Amino acid sequence: MTLTPTMADTIELMYETGWTDGLPVVPPTGDRVDEFVAASGRPADELIAELPPLAGRATVERIAVNAVMAGCLPEYMPVVITALEALMDERFNLRGVMCSTGIHTPLVIVNGPIVKTLDINSGYNCFGQGWRANATIGRAVKLVLVNLGGAVPGDTNKATFGHPGAYTYCIAEDEDANPWEPYHVESGFQAEDSTVTVFPGEAPHNIMYHAVNDRNFLTVLADTMCPLGNVQMYVMGDTFVVLGPEHAKMLAAAGWRKRDVKQFLHEHARKSVGLLRRGGPAQGDERRELLWPKFVDPSNDDDMVPVVRRVEDIHILVAGGAGGPHSVYIPGWGSRRVIRKIQFPQ
């Protein structure tokens, strides 16, 4: 008589094979994987990506295996697949992000009607624990990047520290609390579209501001965006601000459009060349100065370097709990955010 392995034995096998992120995973039974493939609306053998750094073949079936292990529901599959497709855009530079010594890791941002359909958290503790959709969608993407892409910590993934978002990093925008147009509409999509945005982000940097003074708040926010030692000041990629509902409401009531906020931050989130030299790009890596805007003279210590090259490289979302005057800043890594429309099964 053949004994059926216990659940505990199966979970331990996942650890032995190196298929986990350090936390227990759901055993990917054949029936469960088939259910997830069916929910994707795509053939099991369809190739979604050849993931760096090891060019692992991410077929729909293999993605489904990892989504099951992450604890997803089958209906999350279109979001997971769209996120992986977006990560493969050359502007994101997935190989660089996953193999760098930096702290960055892909952040998944969801917009559109799918947010409410799947109950993806955009409010209180949206970057934290306690929400199945956020936790498991983000985790599925990360498991795929390790198990199929080969971005194994300490091996091909050389992140000196990493941050907790490497387990899972997924939020939605709170479009109901957004006093301006939703992020995906600003990016050229229709309001009825559902989208996934991917961005190589650090952990969120909290900005606390309890007073009611719109210009002072933006000054505080701008100062938070450009500290010495922040890689964003040297690499000039996209960067994200997530405004809490209270701060967004205050700015909108004072007449600020989103474009105005970005312009203010571009003009005020700056550090002098002299101070940035003290913060120091990597030794011998003077090429980073070539990434600064042309109006910056790298030989003039008094010239001011903005946090990004262009106003449009600052991206603004609205999310978080409505009961606290907090916002967050998420520095980038030097590459671009990518946004894709989610394709649903017919």
176-212 pLDDT, tens digit each = 999 999 999 999 999 999 999 999 999 999 999 999 9
Are 242 and 204 a contacting pair, CB within 8 Å?
Answer: yes
If asked whether residues 186 and 211 sit together in one domain, one would say no
To the nearest whole percent, how much of the chain has pLDDT over 90? 85
Q: How far apart are CA 167 and CA 98, in angstroms?
A: 13
If asked whether residues 12 and 158 sit together in one domain, one would say yes
If asked whether residues 161 and 195 sit together in one domain, one would say yes
- Residue 5: the pLDDT is 66
If asked whether residues 321 and 193 sit together in one domain, one would say no
Question: Residue 207: which H helix or E strand, with range?
Answer: strand 205-208
Q: pTM for the complete prediction? A: 0.95
Q: How far apart are CA 99 and CA 160, in angstroms?
A: 10
DSSP 102: S
First-residue to last-residue Cα distance in the chain: 45
Give the sign of the dihedral formed by CA 310, CA 276, CA 267, CA 322: positive
Owning domain of residue 262: 205-330
Write down the mean pLDDT value for the chain. 94
The residue ranking higher by pLDDT, 39 or 5, is 39
Q: How far apart are CA 47 and CA 57, in angstroms?
A: 7
If asked whether residues 117 and 134 sit together in one domain, one would say yes
| pLDDT tier, 289 (very low <50, low <70, confident <90, very high otherwise) | low
Cis peptide before 28 (omega within 30 of 0): no
If asked whether residues 213 and 273 sit together in one domain, one would say yes
Are 246 and 320 a contacting pair, CB within 8 Å?
Answer: no
- Residue 287: the pLDDT is 59
If asked whether residues 111 and 210 sit together in one domain, one would say no
Cα–Cα nearest to 276, from 254, 297, 260: 297
Q: How many domains does the chain have?
A: 2
Number of H helices, E strands in the chain: 13, 12
Which residues contact residue 266 at a Cβ distance below 8 angstroms, ignoring those fewer than 6 apart? Answer: 306, 307, 308, 310, 311, 314
Pull the structure tokens for residue 81. Answer: 């697949």
The residue written with tokens 């933006």 in the block is 218
